Structures are given as C-alpha cells and as structure tokens.
Amino acid sequence: MTGGPLFEAPRLERGVPFAGLIQVAGVHDMAEAQALREAGVHAMGLPLRLPVNAEDLTEAEAARLVTAVEHLPAPPLLPVGITYIADGAEAAEFCRVLGLRRLQLHGPVRAAELARLRREIPDLFLIKSLVVRADGNLPELLDTVRELAPLADAFITDTHDPATGADGATGLTHDWAVSAELARRSPRPVILAGGLNPDNVRAAILRVRPAGVDAHTGVEGPDGRKCPDRLRRFVAEARQGFAETGVHCARAGPSRAKA
C-alpha cells in the first residue's frame, strides 16, 4: 500500500496508540458479530444499563457473546461495553461479570470515580464520551477533556437528542466543527460517532480527522438489525476517508509490519 504509513489494526489496549478504528455498536447476537467481523469492523459495542434506549440483549447474553467473540480466530473483533454507569466500583463489577477488557462510559462521571475504576482494573481500556449539544457546549467538553485525559485512554464524541434526551444511538449528526476541535486539542485519541452511515462517514473523517469512527443505527436495515451491505459500504468508505488523511489501517487480524 502506498501513500502513507500502514498502521496495525487497532487493538484498544492500554498504552498502545491506535488510528483508523472502525467500531459498530448495538450488536444483538453472534450472527451480527460475524457480519461485523466479515465486513472488516475492528470493534463491536454492547450498550447495556441504558437510561433511555432499549437494550439489544441481556447482560447474560452479552457475557456469552463476549466469551464467544474473544475465542474467534483472526481477524479479531474487539468487544467494548457501553454503559452510563457513574460509579467506579459498579463499573468494575460490570466489566468482571461480562468479561470486558474495554469499556465506554457514556454518561457523566466524576474524575474520582474514574480513578476508582482505574484502581480496580488497572489495564482496562477506557473510553469516555463527549456529548455534543446544539446549544454550543465546546468549552464544557474541553474542560472534560482536560480533567479526564489522565484517566481515559480515548474519547468518543456523540450527539444529544433534545427530543428524547438520548446521548447516542440517535441517528443524528452534530456540528463536526466541534468534534474537529476536540480531536485537534485532545491529548487522547478521539473517536467520532453520531449519525454516521455509509453516505457521510468519509466526509466526516475528512472534516474531523478522528482516530476512529463509530456507527450504530446508520448501518442497520429496516428491521433494526445490522445490514451486511451497509456494513461493507461503511467500512469501505471509512477506510477511504482514513487513507485520504494519511492513515492506512491494516484489516483486523494478525499484526503486520509497518510499511
């Protein structure tokens, strides 16, 4: 591959830099997990203990899915728990019960609770949300980045829906200029989410220049399940966008030497 360095497929491990991440959230079962893996998705998000949206599976089902996916042959698919838990001890227990090594905290969490979670599970890969609102909350989000960057491994931007109160899985985009500024100024990688789909993900990457992208409803069919064709198109467009920003990410799989 030419045009820039070849980065290893993201591993989402503490202390390991990453670029070109493609994550899809809202997986119902092993059939959908396999569809993600076959399309070239790196990570699958499992939203649980949600304040607004319905959950896609039970915690027992999620635990079984995490175990099954962790034992798949290459290319790997990395399970990421997504939750609004605000208590560090409860979040640690949540990870232990589900067998998670990666957690995305999507609600407000105090630094003291993140520190508590860090003490409980030191090697946990921790992603913290930055929810963009239409009323212009960039200064507040920058304060969050400054406060929590020492404790988080990455941040993920997403969209608030004032009509439902949901902070994610809204199908709505937000002002990408806000996410671009966060990506530019954050000392940690920033993943872009919020209304992404096969038709806009390339443009979003070129505008924001994030370390990764995340889709949920934008890769689903009318039945609410992940659509293999939309998944393949999303991955292809995301790869193209990353390549145009100088990031050529290897397919998920065994480590490859950098070009």
| Count of domains for the chain | 1
Would you state the torsion angle of the CA atoms of residues 27, 9, 39, 61, taken in this order, to the nearest 10 degrees?
Answer: -20
* 174 lies in some domain: yes
| pLDDT value of position 168 | 75
* 133 lies in some domain: yes
Domain CATH for 122: 3.20.20.70
* 254 lies in some domain: no
Render pLDDT for 59-72 as a digit per residue (tens, 0 to 9): 999 999 999 999 99
Q: Is the peptide bond before 75 cis (omega within 30 degrees of 0)?
A: yes
CA–CA gap between residue 200 and residue 202 (Å, rounded): 6
Domain enclosing residue 28, as ranges: 6-249
H/E stretch holding 24 reads strand 21-25
Render pLDDT for 183-197 as a digit per residue (tens, 0 to 9): 999 999 999 999 999
* 258 lies in some domain: no
CA–CA gap between residue 17 and residue 211 (Å, rounded): 10
* 257 lies in some domain: no
pTM score of the predicted model? 0.92
Render pLDDT for 77-114 as a digit per residue (tens, 0 to 9): 999 999 999 999 999 999 999 999 999 999 999 999 99
| pLDDT value of position 209 | 98
- If you average pLDDT over residues 167-189, what whole number do you get? 93
Q: How many CA atoms lie within 13 A of 143 on its CB side?
A: 6
Q: Residue 40: which pLDDT band, with cuts at 50, 70 and 90?
A: very high
Instruction: Report the share of the chain in percent with pLDDT over 90.
Output: 80
Q: Say if CB 99 and CB 63 are below 8 A apart.
A: yes
Across the strands, what pairs with 174? none
For residue 249, is pLDDT > 70?
no
- If you average pLDDT over residues 193-217, what whole number do you get? 97
